[in-house]
Structure formats: structure tokens, C-alpha cells
Amino acid sequence: MAGFREDAQRSLTAIRRRLSDAPDQFADGVANAVRNSPDERLDRLMRSPARRVVLEAIFWQMPHHVDRNRARGLTSSIRWEITGRSDGKPDVYQLVFVDGDCRVVRGPDASRPRLTITVDAAEFIRLATGNSDPMQAYFRGRISLAGDVMMAARASSLFRAPASRR
């Protein structure tokens, strides 16, 4: 009976390990899909009804990937304006940081953000999956910043991209 319990415990441990790796494996798969997709395909995706689902999935995961040590002591917000909608209006998400914690607000938050980042949806997906360098995107005019530019430099270090954690 003791051997059965030990085998069951080892199996349970192996299952838990695989399940804990699932989000990273999914993120790796998404990052690879974005990396291997032509620009036109990403543009079409982000002009389709799937746009909202993709943006929501990315933004609602962001608080889980905040490096709490680097965000400790930070009380601020970053507004993202994601352009490229068919009606010409941006999708707006605000990341609100309070002493290491982060939450997401869809739509403009009542508070004034310390930084506003405006970016096309396809470029945003590249950034979120680690397939675009934020500094290069900025210098190539793919991202525009308003507000505290130093916050933009700090913002990139606040997150650990899921695909790069391994």
C-alpha cells in the first residue's frame, strides 16, 4: 500500500509540474505564432472581431507578470491607447500601479496617467510577446509617448514577458 501511495504522489507531482508549465508553454506558442506571422496577417487579425479578445487576454495577464520588487514603491498609471480600429477610435487600457501591485482598467481611468503610450494593435502584440524591442519601435515611430518619458524607460523593466521567463 505504501508503494501505491508513493507512486500516486509522484504522479500527482508530475501532473502539477506540467500544469504549472502550461501558461508558459501557451505564451511560448503565442510568441512563436506572432514571430512567424507576416505583418499583413497580424493587421488583419487586429482589424477582425478577435481584436477585443486578443487585447483583453494580453491586458488581463499583465498584472500576473509584474516584477513586484521593481514595482515596489511605485504609485502611478500608464495608459495604453491601441489604435487601428475600423471606427478610428483607440482601445484604451490603463495599468494602475500601487506599491508593487498592478490592476487593469479598460477605458480611460479617472486619474491622469503619468505616461500615455499610443501604438498600433499589431505592433502592440509584437511588443507584448517579446517580438519587438520597445526602444527600436519608439525610434522608428511605431510608438508615441506622452507624459513622463522616464516612466517609459522604467515600464519595460516592470514586466517579465512570459515567453522569456525560462
Q: What is the domain partition of the chain in residue ranges?
A: 2-164
pTM: 0.78
Decide if pLDDT at 89 tops 90: yes
Q: What percent of the chain has a predicted confidence (pLDDT) above 70?
A: 79
SS (H, E, C) the chain: CHHHHHHHHHHHHHHHHHHHHHHHHHHHHHHHHHHCCCHHHHHHHCCCCHHHHHHHHHHHHHHHHECHHHHCCCEEEEEEEEECCCCCCCEEEEEEEECCEEEEEECCCCCCCCEEEEEEHHHHHHHHCCCCCHHHHHHCCCEEEEECHHHHHHHHHHECCHHHCC
pLDDT of residue 93: 96
pLDDT in tens, 22-41: 456 666 677 777 887 888 88
What local confidence, expressed as pLDDT, does residue 135 receive? 87
pLDDT mean over 64-91: 91
Q: Which three cell numbers stand for residue 18?
A: 506540467
Cα–Cα distance for residue pair 59/73, rounded to 1 Å? 22
Q: What is the mean pLDDT of residues 78-101?
A: 93
Four-way CATH pick for 2-164: 3.30.420.40, 3.30.1050.10, 1.20.1250.20, 3.40.50.150: 3.30.1050.10
Per-residue pLDDT at 166 exceeds 50: no
